[in-house]
Amino acid sequence: MARKTPFGHNKRLSRMLRLLARIRPHTMPVTYRHNRVALFPDGPHFFKGLLAAIRSAECMILLEYYIIRNDHTGNALASELVAAVQRGVRVLLIYDYIGCIETPSVYFRNLSQQGIELIPFNVPSFRRGIHWFDRRNHRKMTIIDSRVALLGGFNIADEYAGDGRHRDRFRDLGFSVSGSVVQELIGSFGDIWQMERDERPDLAAACERRPAKRHPGDANVAIISGVPHQRSSSIRSAFLFNIASASEELLVANPYFVPGPRIIRALLRASRRGVRVRLLMSARSDVPLVQLVGRSSYGTLLQGGIEIFEMEREMLHAKVMLVDGERSVIGSANLDQRSFHRNFEINCVIDSSAFGAEIRDELEADFNAARRVSLDRHEDRGIVLRALEKIVNLFSWFL
């Protein structure tokens, strides 16, 4: 039985209908009904599920990752992919060239020699122009046999897997989805492959002998694919729409917070209309400059009644927004200008009270364990730090 959330949604539904009336229909993503979603609440659960899914593959595995390291986790993935090829499964892999710059080339060469079809995304080339160097494929996705996809914020590395041997562990969330939405994800993978190879892989007839169940679940899912240099960022638009639709509670966890004025105004408007807004950030970051810029907006947000918490036990890497306990926006995109304008990203908008309740349980535990940021303490941070924030803010669009 689906879990019920403590929120009434009549106000939220009326707000969404008013918002939709102001948006042209062709700008809205397709919503796929009757999908099944399952949450992976941490690294050990995600990677156990990922390797099990790969072992279950019968004919096709598609993978797309920003970072794949040559460590314990990366080698475990490689072993399972090679085993899949040996039993007749076709494996295609897209990895970001810059994201994997520290991974020895022999790692990928060995995969290729074992029969895995792979391409590096965006190998530096002046032929494409200077602007191309700043593009990243930041997506994280595995698709198995046209029937299930695993997504979220996890890269393939020990620090994401919850490996106790790694000092800087990340706190992340992942999920699987099965149902009709998987076909759009396959098409999206094909788009990226074609962009790099100038030819589209033949994926249309994959796994015909094992069709997906027609109605495997009760979740409505929409895919938000971010593409660099769009006139209007689809990733940002989805965040804005869902912030504007909130009627009672908005929970946000995001590690790289450089949202820009439109997102900040939307959060403040939500707070003014009585929505309880709580933001979860990271107390320490692997990108300190981004953290400086993010903290420079704390004063405005705190004065507007928004609650801010910083996670101290691990480095936050989860990217999730929960609206009124029911609608989840979750995937690879950060609330920053890079995700909005310069990365290839993939988010899912999931309408499911049961899935939302699971997300809320995880976030509540993280909020309870985090340190709350007070306005007084933030304003006491010192003149040197304030000056650094102002200087770094001048370059925030490039972070």
Contact yes or no for 354/3 (Cβ under 8 A): yes
Strand pairing partners for 31?
222
- For residue 181 the two structure tokens come to 């939405």
Any idea which residues carry the catalytic annotation?
A: 138, 140, 145, 317, 319, 324
Torsional sign, CA 61, 65, 68, 72: negative
Write the burial class of residue 269 (CB in 10 Å: 0-12 exposed, 13-18 middle, 19+ buried): middle
Cα three-residue angle 385-386-388, rounded to 5 degrees: 65
CA distances from 231 to 218, 227, 234, 386 (A): 34, 10, 9, 33
Spell out the long-range contacts of 132-135 with Cβ–Cβ below 8 A and sequence spacing 24 or more. 134/342, 134/398, 135/228, 135/342, 135/343, 135/344
DSSP 211: P
